[in-house]
Amino acid sequence: MFSLPDKNSVCVFHKIKQDGTRKAIGTGFFFMEQDLVATARHVMEDHANAREPYALSIQPSQSLEGCLAVECAYHIEQDLAVVKLERRYPVVPLYPCFGTNSGFIYIGFDPPTESMLVRHVPTFSIPGPWEGKYSTTFHFEWDGPINPGNSGGPLIGSDGGVAGILIGVSRQVESSDAITSSKVRARAVFIGPLMDLHHRLKTDPDSITLIDVPFT
């Protein structure tokens, strides 16, 4: 039996243009604390490297209020990031999964429908090694649809904790046509590296690079 988290625990990253329009760029979730959001590293990198003058809004799913970010920490080997917010928010943060059965539940924002998706992932596999930007250690994959904006969403175990975080599609999928296919292999990182990043942030911040968030 799966226990889904509070709906405000999962949030959406938006780019906000100068004219006030906004575009969802990824999913995130409050992790361990009420002012710390976890997401995929590439969501933050893509945003920071954007040529257009964007601002960043981290919005809980049921709130109209944007959350401002003040700094970001990247994992050195995995496609993971944690974002420190300017203040605490009245949400119930997610905690690590300590046991699960019957697979996982994936939660992520879906830009085409502008709603949160909830999908069951009954089985998964461990990918073979490949050379790429990030280490494949701690990765797992499953067959299923995935859209831009889903990255950074949590995989919830049957105990209600986070078992992993979605980072995108397998590198074996190259074309954009394949990415929209129902035969896509989604890829995630187990929770261990995210726990390590959080631990270092709290106990030894000098061991990681804290990046000021210039787009607030």
Selected residue with higher pLDDT from 69 and 80: 80
What mean pLDDT, rounded, does the chain reach? Answer: 78
Give CATH for domain 8-93+196-212.
2.40.10.10
Fold of 104-191: Thrombin, subunit H (2.40.10)
- Tell me which amino acid residue 144 is: G
> In the prediction, which pLDDT does 214 show?
54
> In the prediction, which pLDDT does 132 show?
60
> In the prediction, which pLDDT does 96 show?
92
pLDDT in tens, 70-125: 888 888 888 889 998 888 988 899 999 877 777 888 888 888 888 888 888 877 77
Q: Does the fold of domain 104-191 match that of domain 8-93+196-212?
A: yes
Return d(Cα 44, Cα 91) in angstroms, integer.
Answer: 22
> In the prediction, which pLDDT does 21 show?
78
Question: Any idea where the domains of the chain sit in the sequence?
Answer: 8-93+196-212, 104-191
Return d(Cα 10, Cα 24) in angstroms, integer.
Answer: 14
Name the phi and psi angles at 9, rounded to 5: -70, -25
Q: Quick check: 174 pLDDT over 50? A: no
> In the prediction, which pLDDT does 183 show?
63
> In the prediction, which pLDDT does 129 show?
63
Single out the residue of 26, 55, 24 nearest to residue 39, CA to CA. 26
Give percent above pLDDT 90 in the chain: 12
The answer to which of 55-64, 77-86, 156-165 has the lowest mean pLDDT is 55-64
Single out the residue of 176, 195, 173 nearest to residue 185, CA to CA. 173
The answer to which of 136-145, 186-195, 197-206, 207-216 has the lowest mean pLDDT is 207-216
The answer to whether the predicted template modeling score (pTM) of the entire model surpasses 0.75 is yes
> In the prediction, which pLDDT does 64 show?
65
> In the prediction, which pLDDT does 1 show?
65
> In the prediction, which pLDDT does 142 show?
75
- The answer to whether the beta carbons of residues 192 and 138 sit under 8 Å apart is yes
Q: Which residues of 156-170 are buried (b: 16+ CB within 10 A; e: fewer)?
A: bbbbbbbbbbbbbbb
Q: Where are the alpha helices (DSSP H) in 35-124?
A: 41-48
Return d(Cα 166, Cα 122) in angstroms, integer.
Answer: 15
> In the prediction, which pLDDT does 115 show?
83
Question: Taking the CA atoms of the chain, what radius of gyration do you get in angstroms?
Answer: 16
Q: Across 16-25, 111-120, 134-143, 169-178, which has the greatest mean pLDDT?
A: 111-120
> In the prediction, which pLDDT does 173 show?
42
